Amino acid sequence: FSEMMEVLLTALLVCKGTEAILRRGQAFNITLNLQTTAQAWDNLSFIASTGPSPTESQQTKVVFNLSEESASGWSAVLEPSEPGCMNLTISSPANAVIGRYKLKLQIVSGNKVSSTLLGQFVLLFNPWCPDDDVFMANAKERQEYVLNDSGIIFQGLEKYIQQEAWNYGQFEEDILDISLAILDRSLNHRQDPALDVSNRNNPVYVSRVISAMVNSNDEKGVVEGKWNGKYRSGTNPLQWSGSVTILRKWYRGRYKPVRYGQCWVFAGVMCTVLRSLGIPTRVITNFNSAHDRNINLSIDKYIDISGKTLHFTEDSVWNFHVWNESWFIRRDLGSFYDGWQVLDATPQETSKGIYQCGPASTKAIKEGDVNLDYDSSFVFAAVNADYVTWIHYSNKRKERIYSDTRKIGKFISTKAVGSNSRVDVTANYKYPEGSLKERQVYKKALKLLGVRSTGKKAKMRRSRRQPSGARRQNTTQPAQKPSISGKVILDASPVIGQDILLTFALRNLLSDFKTIKVKLRASAILYTRKPKAEIFWYLDTERRTWGNYVSISIPVKEIPFKISYSQYKNSLTDDRKILVTAVCETKQGASLLVEQDIVLQDPFLTIKVLGPTVVHKAVDVQVTFTNPLSEVVTDCVLRAEGSGLIKEQLRIKYVNAIWLVSQFSLVGNLE
C-alpha cells in the first residue's frame, strides 16, 4: 500500500518544479506512475484546495472520486493506460474559485487513509468557456483583450488625440504571481481570508478588489498617485511605458507603493492584472471627463471678470481620464447589464469607504440607471454631466453665462481589435448629444439621484465625503440669449520650442454696432486643467492696460495674437498643456467666455532595427531624435521596454549636448 502512494505527476500539472497554468472549465491530463498494480480503483479520490483555510462549504476545497463527477463539478476520468500507469483527465467547473490550488491523491484501504501531494496549479478565469461568466465568443476579441501583451492608451485633447504605447506584459515572468499577491494583500483578505478566497469565483468581486488594490490610498496597494507636478521622490508618471516594471518594483520592494502614477498608469497596471487572471479587459479614454464631487450632474466653473478660475467648488473637468472596461456577466443585476463593465483604479472618490470604482455596467450608464452597483452614478457624471460657467463679480454677484450639455464625455476611445487605430465607443455610454433620448436619460438620472434644480441632493449609494454646501445651481432655465460669440483658432498643435500663433474670432450675432472689451489670458495647466502658471496677458498697447476694447459692426472680427516660446518655456508643465481664456463684455452687460486647450507636440523618435532579428540573439536598435529647440539640451535619458525583448525597463543616459535644431542617433543592444 505504501508503495502505491509513490506517484509521479508527469503531464500538464508539474514539470521540473513549475506550476501548470490552467483555466477553469478546462480539462487537463495527468499520468500517475505506480510502483505496484492498483487493485481497487474505487478507493482513489482527489482533493483540490485553495486558500489558507479551505472548506467544502465555501467551495475552496473539493473531494471527487475517480470516474465520477462530484456535485461541485470537479471530475477525474480514467483514460486508456499502459500497465503500471494511470492516465487521467481532470476537469474543473466553469464557476470554480480562481487562484493557486494544491491537488492531493487520497487512497483508502481498509481502515487506513493516506494522501500525497501531487502538485500545485493555478486556475484562471476562462473566456474560451461558454459557461464561464467571462466568456467572450469572438476569437479576435479574445486575442486582443486577453492575449495581447501590448497596446495603445489615448491621451491629449478632444481635438488632438495622441497615441501612447503601453507594455502590459501579462505573460512575463512573475506577473501572475504578483497578480495573485495583489489579491492576497487586499483589505478583504486581511479581514477574512477564507471568505475573500471563496468569493474569487466571481469576476465582479475580483475586479472590484483589484480596482482598490492598484492604487495605494487605503490598502498599501501598487501605485501611489500624484498630480502636483513634483515627482523628485519617485518617478514622473509620464516616464512609465508599461506595467511590468511597476508591478515587479512593488512585489520586490515588499509591497511598498510605487511612486508615482496618474490615471493612465493606474489603468495600464489594472489591465495587466485583470488580463493575467483571465478577465477580458481594455483601456478606455474619456475626453473632457467630469469629476463631479457631489454627484449633482452639474460641473460648475467660476471665474472672475478677468477670466481667472475661482476655486469655489471641487468639481473639475480633466482634459482626459483613463479607466478600464472588463467583460463579464452581471448575475447581481440581470442579463440586460451583461457585457462591458467600467472599472477605475484612479483614487478620486471613496466607494463604501474605500478608494475603488466599479464594476459599473456601460448599459446602466447609457440608460441612466445610476442607482445600480457599483458606482454607476459617478461614471454617468464623468461622461454626461452638464458644464456651467459663472462669472463672479467683485460685489459678490454671480451671473451664469454659459451652460453646455455637450461638452462632457467626448470621443470616448479605445484601441481597435487587431490594430493600433482608435475606436470611438461613446455610443456605448450615452445616446447622441442633443437628442431627445439623451435628455430623457439625463432627467431620469437626476430623479434617481434625488437632485432638483435647487437644493440638496438625496443620500447617495456611493459613500463619499460631501463638500459643504453641495447644491445644484438652477440651470434648468436657459442663459440669456447671447448677442456675441467667439472661438480661438489654432490651425495645428505646435511643437515644443515654437511660438504659438492664434486668432480670436469674435462674432456679432446681431446687426448692430458694439464696443466689446476683450480680455485674453493663457495659463500653463496640468491635464486635470488645474492652472500652474500665468504665461500670457493680452494688453491694450495704447492704454497699457490689460484687456482691449474692440469695436465691431461686421459679422466677424479677428484678433491675432502670439504666445512666444520665451513666454511659456519656463512655465510649461510635463503635460505640455496650455489653457487660453477669453472674457468679453459689452456695454450692455452681456458676457462671453471662450476657452481653448492647447497641447504642444513632443518631437518624434524614429526607431530602426539594424540587421536581421533572430530569436535568442542580440540585435542593435537605432533611435533618432531631432532637437526642436533653439537652445542646447543636455543630460537626456532614453527609456525603452517591451515584452519578450527587455526584462526590465531600459534606461540609457546621453550626457553629450544636443545642439539646437540638430539630429542625433543612439544605438542600443537588445538581448
CB-count exposure of residue 603 (10 Å: 0-12, 13-18, 19+): middle
Residues 115 and 46: beta-carbon distance below 8 Å: no
Residue-wise DSSP of 183-248: HHTSHHHHH-HHHHHHGGG-HHHHHHHHHHHSB-TTT--SEEE--SS--TTS--GGG--BSHHHHH
Q: Which of 300, 321, 369, 584 is catalytic?
A: 321
| Residue position matching grid coordinates 472618490 | 349
Residue 643: name the closest of 170, 163, 144 by CA: 170
- 57 is written with which cell numbers? 462549504
**Residue 303, C-alpha cell as written in the block:** 471665474
Gap between the Cα atoms of 473 and 455, Å rounded: 8
Say which residues have a Cβ less than 8 Å from residue 328's Cβ, sequence separation at least 6. Answer: 133, 134, 203, 204, 207, 279, 280, 338, 341, 359
Q: Name 596's bridge partners.
A: 580
Asked whether the beta carbons of 607 and 670 are under 8 A apart, the reply is no
Angle in degrees, CA 245, 215, 228, rounded to 5: 90
**Catalytically annotated residue among 132, 133, 149, 344:** 344
**Residue 536, burial from CB neighbour count under 10 angstroms (0-12, 13-18, 19+):** buried
Q: Is the dihedral of CA 244, 246, 252, 255 positive or negative?
A: negative
Annotated catalytic residue, options 129, 189, 263, 300: 263
**Binding site members for Ca(2+):** 384, 386, 433, 438
Q: Dihedral sign for Cα 52, 55, 60, 66, please.
A: positive
Please indicate whether residue 321 is annotated as part of the active site: yes
The answer to whether 263 is a known catalytic residue is yes
344 is catalytic: yes
Residue 55, SS3 per DSSP: coil
Closest CA to 307 of 553, 486, 495: 486
Residues tagged active-site: 263, 321, 344
